A and B are shown apart, each in its own frame.
Chain A
Amino acid sequence: MLKPEIKEILDQAREAGWAMEPQAKEIMRLAGLPVPDFTWARDKEEALACAREKGFPLAAKVVSKKIVHKSDAGGVAVNIADEDELAGVMDRFAGMEGFEGAVVEPMAQGAELIVGGRVDHQFGPVVLFGMGGTAVEVYKDTVIRMAPIDEDTVGNMILSLGARDLILGHRGEKPLDAAGIKSLVAGFSRLLMDLEDEIESVDLNPVMCSHKGCNIADARIMLAR
């Protein structure tokens, strides 16, 4: 059963056809999945105010119903070092089509993974997991399972990846937080079952993962038509 708060966000997003990053991340947070300490700042002043609380360096990402692929549109700024730089970024974002503010959050460390979901016509909700980032469709190092899945199955998915050694520890690097990955992907697969009638697909990309833990750095939900 979906929480009423999740339903409410989906209802707000329905007209645009998709849930933007702050909406999608709020849904993930409500579902108990790890998201960074993010703020949806509606303008430059709100951005600067929350930056003072969070401290630098920060990441800022434009919020606009018109911009599905933020990186492609120049709507992502990372490693913002101080207030002047943040002010400049917010001025630039404000000129973009459909500007509704920015997501401001601490910089995340680690490897970029993707956790995704889709409602398949024949099989219903399926979950996808693998190496993420903007080049995800270039490397295509991802595996698919029918949802829901348990944590052991996620362990199997990790072993099926071409880049498995990057997760399990490569050349003296500490392994990524496998327990965190397993609980995130399994928990996400259960959420997908509840979202079956609402959505078409979900991208959590990237999910930033280090040896210390995992965090959903970006998210979007394409709603069912």
Chain B
Amino acid sequence: MQKPKDLKPLLHPRTMAVVGVSRKNDRHPANVIFYKNHLRQTVDVYAVNPKGGKLLGEKLYPDVASVPGQVDLAVIAVRAAQVPGVLADCARAGAKSAAVISGGFAEVGREDLQDEISAIAADAGMPMLGPNCLGIYAPGYADTFFLPPERMIRPEQGNVALVSQSGGILVDQMIKFADEGVGLSLAVSIGNKAMIRERDLLAYLTEDDKTRVIAFYVEGFGKGEGRAFVHQARDAGKPIIILKAGKSAAGTQAVSSHTAALAGDYNVFSSVMAQFGVVEAKNELELVSFCEALSCYDKPLSGRAAILTGSGGHGAMAVDECARLGIETPALSSALAEKVRAGLSEPVSSIASLKNPIDLTGSAVDDDFVHAVSTLSDSSEVDCVLLLLLPYLPGVTSDLGARLSAVFRRKGKPLAAYVPRLEKYRMLIEGFELNRVPVAPSIDGAVLMVEALRRCAPC
């Protein structure tokens, strides 16, 4: 059992020093990091440059030791060869943690240099993120990503934490989160993960009150590390989602047994994640759908879905996708169907199809949907309702999202909705999402939200 590292100074720093701020080059990563935190975030930030002096009126400190007060996090963005010296300086100054943004280590064959900086950090008992990473993004608080603020897409503050080996994938996921209205508690780019690795973050985020869902993008674990990870994940008590790259990597050794041929690296990865209740996303669409669904609901489902729509075609496509994934769509009992029919508006009640999918037809109005969801929510025949809402139907108004969310709040039966993601339908979508009902921009995405609840052990 490794000693838990105190990651609070690293992931929730009060004081940050940015080392490597240039006096000449305003596009230097360290300059971007310094200014965006200085101007936009609440963390106290100081710029470090060995030559000292001033930059646009801001004082430059010659080293970390001369920064006033205790430095929680030293963000290091200097050339690789200078990192050992800077880290040693941080250790002497008593900095509580470091994030090495600089590249030029194991990823280019300089394992020696990476081992050297890991040893310095380990000797000082100073948690080190990276190298070759973007660091951390804590909405409204601290942001060490060297991307100019006007270029960044910032998701809202929320309860999903993202941990990624790749900085690029992390930024991409943040864009998707912002698009889909998924809120972020913390994003961490771990880069070469020389010291701080997935398991350290899993331990921290398990205890973090602001985080409800923990999502990982991983390329691979070290020897035996996967085993320790799944044990830790099983005991975390929070939904954990994982996206693995390198699924197709061919084995390099000749395969001498049937078992070795059938239990290839990725098959083992995928099977073991499922065994321990970690929800594996196969691609980015699944990752964002799973994150959104699990950030909203906290009870697992057996997966008996009612599909409710105003279009027969949408219902048929959703049924196909449910069948592919093994989500049941049981036909409603005649008693339940009659209960639904009894409350529908007069023109709809005679033409609606009330099996499953339930097609209220293009004549349906808001009240019909509200009545149907309410009735289905009271029934034990299904444990969730998949809504395929077509905002262009004449009887559907932009108020429907908020009204159906109110049914969820009263009855507690999970809903997942598909609404085409267009600006003119935003009020309908926000009516759901601001009331914690997940909305997907595609039918498949909405089905995946139900799938997430079915697969997740500790939701």
User: Whole-angstrom distance from the CB of A101 to the nearest CB of chain B?
Assistant: 22
Which A residue sits closest to B256, measured CB to CB? A222
Contact between chains at A68 and B227 (CB < 8 Å): no
Question: Which of A41-49, A72-80, A81-89, A112-120 lines the interface with chain B?
Answer: A112-120
Give B194-233 interface residues, CB cut-off 8 Å to A: 220-227, 230
| B contact residues around A68 at 8 Å (CB) | 256
- Is there a chain A Cβ closer than 8 Å to B271's Cβ? yes
Q: Number of A residues contacting the other chain (C-beta, 8 Å)?
A: 31
In this complex, which of A68, A140, A144, A222 has the most chain B Cβ atoms within 10 angstroms of its Cβ? Answer: A144
* CB < 8 Å A-B pair total: 93
Question: Which of A5-13, A28-36, A103-111, A198-206 lines the interface with chain B?
Answer: A198-206
| A contact residues around B269 at 8 Å (CB) | 122-123
Which B residue sits closest to A115, measured CB to CB? B259
Give B86-128 interface residues, CB cut-off 8 Å to A: none
Contact between chains at B221 and A203 (CB < 8 Å): no
Contact between chains at A200 and B268 (CB < 8 Å): no
- Is there a chain B Cβ closer than 8 Å to A137's Cβ? yes
- Is there a chain A Cβ closer than 8 Å to B245's Cβ? no
Contact between chains at A120 and B262 (CB < 8 Å): no
Which B residue sits closest to A140, measured CB to CB? B262
Given A123-B226, A136-B258, A202-B257, A118 contacting B263 (CB threshold 8 A): yes
Q: How large is the interface on B (under 10, 10 to 19, 20 to 34, 35 or more residues)?
A: 20 to 34
Contact between chains at A126 and B272 (CB < 8 Å): yes
Contact between chains at A116 and B224 (CB < 8 Å): no
Cβ-neighbour of A200 out of B225, B260, B262 (below 8 A): B260
Interface residues as binary, B263-295 with A (CB distance below 8 Å gives 1, 0 otherwise) = 101011101100110000000000000000000
- Is there a chain A Cβ closer than 8 Å to B261's Cβ? yes
Cβ-neighbour of A122 out of B223, B257, B276 (below 8 A): B223
Contact between chains at A122 and B265 (CB < 8 Å): yes
Expressed in whole angstroms, the Cα–Cα distance for A117 and B227 within the complex equals 15
Contact between chains at A123 and B230 (CB < 8 Å): yes
Contact between chains at B259 and A122 (CB < 8 Å): no
Expressed in whole angstroms, the Cα–Cα distance for A144 and B272 within the complex equals 7
Instruction: List 25 interface pairs A-B (beta carbons < 8 Å), by A numbering.
Output: A114-B258, A114-B259, A116-B258, A116-B259, A116-B263, A117-B259, A118-B259, A120-B226, A122-B220, A122-B221, A122-B226, A128-B262, A137-B258, A144-B267, A144-B271, A144-B272, A146-B227, A146-B230, A146-B271, A146-B275, A146-B276, A200-B256, A200-B257, A222-B257, A222-B260
B interface with A by C-beta (< 8 Å): 220-227, 230, 256-263, 265, 267-269, 271-272, 275-276
Q: Which 9 A-B pairs have the closest CB atoms?
A: A116-B259, A122-B226, A144-B271, A123-B226, A122-B221, A201-B257, A201-B260, A146-B272, A203-B257
A123-B224, A128-B259 are known contacts; what are 7 more A-B pairs with Cβ within 8 Å? Answer: A120-B263, A122-B265, A144-B263, A144-B271, A200-B256, A201-B259, A203-B257
